[in-house]
Amino acid sequence: MIRARKILAMVEAADKLGLLTELARQPLTLTDVAGRAEIDRGMAYKFLTILAWNGILMRKGDHWALDGALRAEVESGALPLLRIEGWATRDHLNAFGIVAALRGHRSPPEIDNHYVGALAEAMLRGARASAPHLARLPLWRDRAHLADLAGGTGGYAILLCRMYPHLRATVYDRPEMLEHTARAVADARLDDRIALEPWELRGDPVPAGHDCALLSHVLHLLDASARVGLLGRVRAALAEGDPVVVHDFMPGTAPGTPSPEEAASAIDWLANGSGFLPDLDELGAELATAQISVRSVTPLAATRTTVVSAACTRGLPDRHSSLNGSVERKS
């Protein structure tokens, strides 16, 4: 465990020097590394040697190259996640943060503004894997205006608008994130159909004028009372029968035991004070409290996440909203 922490620190240092991206492109000489990292040649040699000793680099004659597994991770877009994890470890995902959380402290769920760019890259990567599954839901066919709440870089809104030419969307998120969203929307040439609005997750109302809402990877940022509050704000903005789609990590829906990634993510939630995500019945009850009734549950095995399709109801839901009960369940 101690060695793993030290190796992670070395990988982070190489990233901060800009070397991981460079070495993923091509092997570099000692002179290349010292020059690009702006460090002394002797210190560069020691740094590269230790990276090689710990399996991060390989030496090939006068050149140094990334280990094959790490190179594949860098090329697949894992660096943004590494940067976010590094921030979290320094901020709250450490022994002091976990002890404070166990004693009732709640860390803000928002990532520091300095790392919003890394978060934006990670969200775009995640949306490419999950958005096609959400886009297949038939409920989008007759919808006119989507509220994509805490929608990040707009990956879901972009794909939905591409697939459904009649659909417009508004992505709501903090201003620092919307700077990245604007570029993604412009690159997709959807400026005329996707609007961007600054929005605060834990307090701002959901504006009226929408007939559907998406909460993708939002609820896991919140504790139970904040989730119920947000779902109530969503319901207040929509009409009876309007769909609400929740896409998130959900225990008990994917077959088998939690993956190592899921087990590690649970530590994050514990450290920020939110604890575990609600299970299926708990989420069903929270939706019912907000007068939203579950219609279907679809586990996504490829991403170890779950899509919950629901609809706004009037008064009490017209049927029990337990996700393990009578609602339709797909695999």
Confidence of residue 259 (pLDDT cuts 50, 70, 90): low
Residue 145 pLDDT exceeds 90: yes
Structural fold of domain 113-329: Rossmann fold (3.40.50)
Q: Where are the domains of the chain?
A: 2-76, 113-329
- Window from 26-35, 126-135, 310-319 with minimum mean pLDDT: 310-319
Q: What is the pLDDT of residue 16?
A: 86
Q: Report d(CA 329, CA 69) in Å as an integer.
A: 37
- Window from 3-12, 76-85, 148-157 with minimum mean pLDDT: 76-85
Confidence of residue 19 (pLDDT cuts 50, 70, 90): confident
Residue 319 pLDDT exceeds 50: no
Residue 321 pLDDT exceeds 80: no
Residue 36 pLDDT exceeds 80: yes
- Window from 44-58, 154-168, 199-213 with minimum mean pLDDT: 44-58
Q: What is the pLDDT of residue 315?
A: 60
Q: What mean pLDDT is predicted for residues 121-127?
A: 75
Q: Sheet with 63-66: list strands edge to edge.
A: 28-29, 63-66, 57-60
- What are the tens digits of pLDDT across the range 187-198? 999 999 999 999
Confidence of residue 75 (pLDDT cuts 50, 70, 90): low
User: Best-predicted range by mean pLDDT among 156-170, 247-261, 289-303?
Assistant: 156-170
Q: Report the CATH architecture of 2-76.
A: Orthogonal Bundle (1.10)
Mean pLDDT of the residues in the chain = 84
Confidence of residue 307 (pLDDT cuts 50, 70, 90): very high
Q: What is the pLDDT of residue 322?
A: 42
Q: What is the pLDDT of residue 277?
A: 66
| Percent residues over pLDDT 90 in the chain | 39
Confidence of residue 329 (pLDDT cuts 50, 70, 90): very low
- Window from 90-94, 161-165, 237-241 with minimum mean pLDDT: 90-94
SS (H, E, C) the chain: CHHHHHHHHHHHHHHHCCHHHHHHHCCEEHHHHHHHHCCCHHHHHHHHHHHHHCCCEEEECCEEEECHHHHHHHHCCCHHHHHHHHHHHHHCCCHHHHHHHHCCCCCCCCCCHHHHHHHHHHHHHHHHHHHHHHHCCHHHHHCCEEEEECCCCCHHHHHHHHHCCCCEEEEEECHHHHHHHHHHHHHCCCCCCEEEEECCCCCCCCCCCCCEEEEECCHHHCCHHHHHHHHHHHHHHCCCCCEEEEEECCCCCCCCCCCHHHHHHHHHHHHCCCCCCCCHHHHHHHHHHCCEEEEEEEEECCCCEEEEEEEECCCCCCCCCCCCCCCEECC
- What are the tens digits of pLDDT across the range 171-214? 999 999 999 999 999 999 999 999 999 999 988 999 999 999 99
Q: What is the pLDDT of residue 252?
A: 60
- Burial class of 60 by CB neighbour count within 10 A (0 to 12, 13 to 18, 19+): exposed
Residue 284 pLDDT exceeds 60: yes
- Tell me which of 206 and 108 has the higher pLDDT: 206
Q: What mean pLDDT is predicted for residues 303-327?
A: 65
Q: What is the pLDDT of residue 286?
A: 93
